[in-house]
Amino acid sequence: MHRALLKSFSASAACAAALLLLAACATPITGGAPGPAAEAPSLKVGDRWVYRGKDGYRVPILWEETHQITAIGPDTITVSITGKGTMGDFQRTETWSAPGVVRVGAVFETETDRFEPSLLRFKYPLTPGETWSQSVRNTDQPRGPYGPIQRQVSVGGYESVTTPAGTFDAIRMRIFMQLDDETFWRFPTQCNYVLWYAPAAKAWVKQEQRSYYREKDTTSSALVPGQNATIELISFTAGGG
């Protein structure tokens, strides 16, 4: 849940990171059955989603997080996110220009960024077979010698997904992402996520997150595993009265 945390990992974790590298180099395969495009949801103040997450390899990191719409204005949607877990509590506030269009929010774990241009978390209507790519900068971070966040999203078809909140007809999406955290001693973090978006829940209901980075030591090509997370919806409560 925290980038600064170096998770303990075994040889099997390093192997998983190598497989992630191979997947990221391949053409995204999202799978799923044909179905209608998902239009932007009609969000209401009070809409509330609670998720349960598990990360790590030998020692699991567990948490629950709550996302709630707290205000909706002409051009701003405000979302409160709070969480509690084995690594402590966290909170942040996201601001969206519209559903799926994030001005301030998190793209990796719990860190809050200010995006320029706005991050297209979801590009509605979500149409099976569509892809989009984006290069965005965190304006809270000074411009440096290394690149911005690079993100590629592929929209697949529908799958039946069961979570603690129930069974949903959900659109499977794959996200490849390169972060803006390169330094003089390491290359940027590479992320390979699979996400299931359920129109009935007005949000994603499950994510599988894998990430890694490489060190710039020319004597070794070892991958350093990062995320190994699964996050699932445990409840959704509609707002608006």
| HEC-encoded secondary structure of the chain | CCCCCCCCCCHHHHHHHHHHHHHHHCCCCCCCECCCCECCCCCCCCCEEEEEEEECCCCCEEEEEEEEEEEECCCCEEEEEEEEECCCCEEEEEEEEECCEEEEECCCCCCCEEEEEEEECCCCCECCCCEEEEEEEECCCCCCCCCCEEEEEEEEEEEEEEECCEEEEEEEEEEEEECCCCCCCECCCEEEEEEEEEHHHCEEEEEEEEEEEEECCCCCCCEEEEEEEEEEEEEEECCCC
Q: Say if 6 falls within a structural domain.
A: no
Phi, psi values for residue 157, rounded to 5°: -100, -165
Residue 26, pLDDT score: 44
Residue 29, pLDDT score: 55
**d(Cα 111, Cα 118) in Å, to the nearest integer?**
16
CA 28 from chain center: how many Å?
Answer: 16
Domain interval for residue 76: 11-237
pLDDT in tens, 123-143: 999 999 999 999 999 998 888
pLDDT in tens, 94-116: 999 999 999 999 999 988 999 99
Q: What average pLDDT does the structure give for the chain?
A: 88
**d(Cα 170, Cα 231) in Å, to the nearest integer?**
15
Q: Say if 1 falls within a structural domain.
A: no
Q: Say if 43 falls within a structural domain.
A: yes
Percentage of residues in the chain having pLDDT higher than 70: 86
Segment among 37-41, 52-56, 107-111, 196-200 with least mean pLDDT: 107-111
Q: Say if 5 falls within a structural domain.
A: no
Q: Would you place residue 241 in the very low, low, confident or very high pLDDT band (cuts 50, 70, 90)?
A: low
One-letter identity of residue 152:
Q
pLDDT at 184 over 50: yes
pLDDT in tens, 53-94: 999 998 999 999 999 999 999 999 999 999 999 999 999 999
Total of domains in the chain: 1
Q: Say if 162 falls within a structural domain.
A: yes
Q: Which CATH number belongs to the domain containing residue 216 in this structure?
A: 2.40.360
